[in-house]
Amino acid sequence: MATLRHGIAEAIEIVAHGDESTSNVVGRKIGELRLPMGTIIGALLRGNDVIVARRQVVIEEGDHVVIYLSDKKNVPEIEKNCSSQVHSSFNDLFTFKSDSL
């Protein structure tokens, strides 16, 4: 996690977990995700490939997703939107990578 804009914004890298039946993000196109205002997915890291985030890109199990939040107060909103019926929390769907940004 990197703090930006004097502590107001953040950039985070998360790792997607699950499959289409257990996750609200794995198997979905970026354009289908409901993200809070000011939240942008910048890129996905898939194996040794960097994929520029575009609306039609599908998130796969194990993808490292780089997200920019213009207001770090939106983290709970992302948590709410990315939870699934099987997983009880955002941390079950994603692993935060705090040392990589």
d(CA 86, CA 72): 26
* Angstrom distances, CA of residue 41 to CA of 14, 34, 37, 85, 86: 11, 11, 12, 23, 24
* Secondary structure E strands in 17-90: 39-46, 49-52, 64-69
Query: Is this prediction's pTM over 0.85?
Result: no
Among 36, 28, 99, residue whose Cα is nearest residue 61:
28
What pLDDT, in 10s, does the model give residues 52-69?
A: 999 999 999 999 888 888
What pLDDT, in 10s, does the model give residues 12-41?
A: 777 888 888 888 889 999 999 888 888 899
pLDDT at 16 (0 to 100)? 86
Tokens encoding 3: 């703090």
Residues in Cβ contact with 99 at an 8 Å cutoff, skipping those fewer than 6 apart: none
